[in-house]
Chains A and B, each alone.
Chain A
Amino acid sequence: MKFDSIEPGTWPELIYPAYKSTVKRGPLQPNLRIEAPLPVSQNIIATPRILLPHDADLTAHGETEPLGEKIVVTGRVVDEDGKPVRNSLVEVWQANSAGRYWHSKDQHAAPLDPNFHGLGKMLTDDDGRYRFVTIKPGPYPWGNHDKAWRPAHIHFSLFGNVYAQRLVTQMYFPSDPLFDYDPIFQSVPDEAARQRLISRFSLEHTVGTEMLGYEFDIVLRGRNATPMGL
Chain B
Amino acid sequence: MSMITTSQTIGPFSHEAWKWATDACMPGTLKIDGPSILISGVIYDGDGNPINDAQVEAWIPDGVSAEAEQAIPGFRRVPSGADGEFSMRVPLPQPATRGEPVMYVTVFARGLVKHQFTAVFLEDDSGLEQSAILNQVPEARRATLLARKNGDAQYHWDIWMQTEKETVFFDYA
Contact = CB atoms under 8 A, between A and B. Distances in A.
Given A197-B5, A220-B4, A27 B10 contact: no
17 contacts: A11-B7, A12-B6, A14-B113, A14-B114, A23-B46, A24-B162, A25-B111, A31-B116, A32-B169, A42-B61, A47-B72, A93-B16, A105-B53, A106-B13, A157-B17, A196-B3, A197-B8
Contacts of A19: 9, 111, 113
B59 interface: yes
A56 B171 CA distance: 32
Interface of A is mostly: loop
Interface string A31-68: 11111101110111111011000000000000000000
A188 B8 CA distance: 9
B171 A93 contact: no
Contacts, number: 217
B13 A93 contact: yes
Interface of A: 2-7, 10-14, 16, 19-29, 31-36, 38-40, 42-47, 49-50, 80, 91-93, 95, 101-103, 105-106, 117-121, 153, 155, 157, 163-164, 166-170, 184-185, 187-188, 190, 192-194, 196-197, 217-221
Contacts of A34: 133, 136-137, 170-173
B136 A32 contact: yes
A5 B72 CA distance: 29
B3 A80 contact: yes
Interface in B116-131: 116-117, 119
Contacts of B15: 103
B39 interface: no
9 closest residue pairs by CB, A with B: A21-B111, A93-B17, A12-B113, A25-B111, A24-B46, A170-B8, A31-B171, A164-B172, A119-B17
Interface in B31-77: 45-47, 49, 51, 53, 59, 61, 64, 71-75
Contacts of A168: 7-10, 108, 115
